[in-house]
Amino acid sequence: MEGFLVGTGLVLGGFVVAGFYRIAFGPTIYDRILAVNLIGIMTVVFLVLMGLIYRRVEMFVDIALMYSLLAFIGTLIFAKYFSKRGVE
């Protein structure tokens, strides 16, 4: 079962690397924010996974909760900022 969790982490890592393509070559700024958002969500899952693998989940789950809040607020702030500026 431990091995399955590590494998899940590796697969998620692969998806994150695929997401980096959009961050690097996304045609507009919004594509990049979108990719950052997706990577943030995967990181939340990754944090809980790490907690389960290291058997310290009661600590990691708080970090994951905070991180999901930060990812959400970060997306909102990006959206607000770029709509005011009208940057392409």
With beta carbons less than 8 A apart as the criterion, state whether 52 and 5 touch. yes
Distance separating alpha carbons of residues 81 and 84, to the nearest angstrom = 5
Question: 39, 50, 31: which is closest to 14 by C-alpha?
Answer: 39
Give the CA-trace dihedral at 77, 31, 35, 23, to 10 degrees: -110
- Distance CA(44)–CA(35), nearest Å, equals 15
* Residues in region 18-77 near other proteins by CB under 8 A: 18-19, 21-22, 28, 30-31, 33-35, 37-38, 41-42, 44-45, 48-49, 52, 57-58, 61-62, 64-65, 68-69, 72, 75-76
Binds other proteins by CB under 8 A, chosen from 6, 11, 54, 70: 11
Q: Would you tell me which residues interact with other proteins (CB under 8 A)? A: 1, 4-5, 8, 11-12, 15, 18-19, 21-22, 28, 30-31, 33-35, 37-38, 41-42, 44-45, 48-49, 52, 57-58, 61-62, 64-65, 68-69, 72, 75-76, 78-80, 82-83, 86-88
